[in-house]
């Protein structure tokens, strides 16, 4: 199943196919469960008489708790193992989404969505760590891209299913169906994922853990990659959070089902994440990352125009650039972090989901005060900052991986 010379998972082997099938299912489940409430925000505003920013809490509270919990998820998986933590995370999260469909009021719904952030934390950071440990260097870019492709399908599917079903049967049915799909994916993941071959259990020592966190910030590249994660998801989630409000209002007056179906654009992410991740592995991450931000910036500008066709073209560009950029940055973090892979993944995803939580909620204030132009200006500033950092990373000399002895291989980690 693996290359007998090193025991790693290589592209083209049965182990590679099983690993990616399992992580595709995990990404599908995790991000479907997380984002299924996003197209329902206008309905939440109507049913519960909450503002746009208030309705956004159904997602922002989840991602905020998720961000903090993931700082410790990697350390827990160092002790309990990668696969057990990921399986428990997926099963518990699917059950919580099923419970959320039964909640009687807004406060109870927010409470369950907050708890969901805690249970979901056991998957994303640990999945990055698992890939970093188990896949060889030439395969990890494609492997990460395929995992993110599953995330794209999950993000699209969760939004699409809940949004369309809400129009015909109510939002509770839509959310419950997403929960059932998530449970099926969790069971498939449990069955398909190969056990870790390069994992060595370590006791959870807080001093050592904090030392690894501190070591990452002595690296000149990793902190900037963490900021890129914040900006990427912050801009992306803000656009999708308030897109439904704009398109369901005059002059477009689209239905909930039509707005929900727009999330099918996420399918573009299944291609762009794998393609740009693979391209970055061949040409160098530094040479490809800035193009993802440039594409997102062009997309934001298009959404500020009035014709619906140009708005949709802008959403396509934003989606393509986002998934490609996330694929590049996340695999770059894993390669650069050396022995601190679990902690680097946790910090990266902390920043990534804090971008969703902070920017996603803040965008509602811009929408309330200046309409879509306010959202476009806000997200444009985020993306422009990401582009500036990406261009700066092009000039940054590669440094030795954190907690890794200097070797010719580690000196090329930035590119």
* Tokens (6 digits) for 253: 């007056």
Which pLDDT does position 398 carry in this prediction?
Answer: 44
Three-state SS at 135: strand
Residue 123 host element (H or E): none
415 residues of the chain, pLDDT tens digit each = 444 456 677 777 888 888 888 988 998 899 899 999 999 999 999 888 899 999 999 999 999 999 888 888 877 887 888 889 999 999 999 999 999 999 989 999 999 999 999 999 988 878 877 887 887 777 777 777 777 777 777 888 898 899 899 988 999 999 999 999 999 999 999 998 888 777 777 776 666 666 666 667 777 788 999 999 999 999 999 999 999 999 999 999 999 889 888 888 878 877 887 788 778 767 777 778 999 999 999 999 999 999 999 999 999 999 999 989 998 898 888 777 766 776 787 788 889 989 999 999 999 999 999 999 999 999 999 999 999 999 887 555 443 333 333 322 222 223 3
Q: What is the CATH number of domain 14-412?
A: 1.20.1250.20
Q: What are phi and psi of 245, to 5 degrees?
A: -60, -45
Q: How many other CB atoms are found less than 10 A from the CB of residue 389?
A: 18
Residues with Cβ within 8 Å of residue 106, at least 6 apart in sequence: 44, 48, 50
Domain range list for the chain: 14-412
Is the omega angle on the peptide bond into residue 271 within 30 degrees of 0, that is, cis? no
From CA 157, how far away is CA 135, in angstroms rounded? 28
Three-state SS at 275: helix
How is residue 263 annotated by DSSP?
G
Tell me the sheet residues that pair with 302: none
Compute, in degrees rounded to 10, the torsion defined by CA atoms 69, 73, 74, 80: 170
Which pLDDT does position 2 carry in this prediction?
Answer: 44
From CA 185, how far away is CA 164, in angstroms rounded? 21
Q: What are phi and psi of 9, to 5 degrees?
A: -85, 125
Q: What are phi and psi of 11, to 5 degrees?
A: -55, 135
């Amino acid at each position: 199943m693996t290359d007998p010379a090193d025991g790693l998972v290589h592209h083209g082997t049965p182990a590679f196919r099983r690993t990616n099938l399992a992580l595709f299912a995990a990404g599908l489940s995790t991000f479907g469960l997380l984002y299924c409430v996003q197209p329902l925000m206008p309905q939440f505003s109507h049913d519960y008489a909450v503002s746009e920013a208030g309705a956004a809490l159904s997602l922002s509270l989840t991602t905020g708790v998720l961000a903090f919990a993931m700082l410790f998820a990697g350390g827990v998986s160092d002790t309990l193992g990668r696969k057990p933590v990921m399986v428990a995370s997926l099963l518990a999260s699917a059950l919580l989404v099923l419970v959320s469909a039964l909640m009687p009021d807004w406060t109870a719904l927010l409470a369950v969505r907050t708890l969901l952030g805690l249970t979901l934390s056991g998957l994303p950071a640990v999945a990055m760590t698992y890939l970093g440990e188990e896949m060889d260097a030439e395969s990890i870019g494609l492997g990460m891209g395929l995992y993110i492709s599953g995330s794209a399908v999950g993000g699209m599917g969760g939004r699409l299913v809940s949004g369309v079903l809400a129009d015909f049967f109510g939002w509770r049915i839509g959310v419950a169906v997403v929960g059932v799909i998530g449970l099926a994916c969790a069971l498939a993941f449990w069955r398909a994922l190969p056990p870790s071959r390069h994992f060595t259990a370590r006791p959870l020592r807080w001093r050592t853990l904090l030392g690894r966190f501190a070591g990452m910030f002595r690296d000149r590249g990793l902190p900037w990659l963490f900021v890129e994660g914040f900006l990427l998801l912050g801009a992306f989630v803000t656009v999708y959070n308030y897109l439904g409000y704009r398109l369901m209002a005059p002059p477009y007056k689209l239905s909930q089902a039509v707005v929900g179906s727009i999330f099918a654009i996420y399918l573009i992410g299944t291609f762009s994440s794998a393609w740009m991740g693979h391209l970055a592995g061949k040409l160098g991450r530094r040479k490809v990352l800035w193009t993802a931000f440039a594409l997102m910036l062009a997309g934001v500008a298009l959404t500020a125009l009035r014709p619906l066709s140009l708005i949709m073209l802008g959403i396509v560009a934003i989606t393509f650039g986002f998934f490609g950029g996330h694929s590049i940055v996340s695999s770059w973090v894993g390669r650069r972090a050396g022995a601190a892979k679990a902690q680097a993944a946790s910090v990266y995803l902390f920043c990534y989901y804090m971008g969703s939580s902070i920017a996603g909620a803040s965008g509602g204030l811009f929408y309330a005060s200046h309409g879509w132009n306010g959202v476009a200006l806000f997200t444009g500033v985020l993306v422009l900052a990401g582009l500036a950092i990406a261009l700066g990373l092009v000039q940054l000399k590669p440094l030795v991986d954190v907690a890794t002895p200097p070797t010719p291989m580690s000196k090329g980690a930035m590119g």
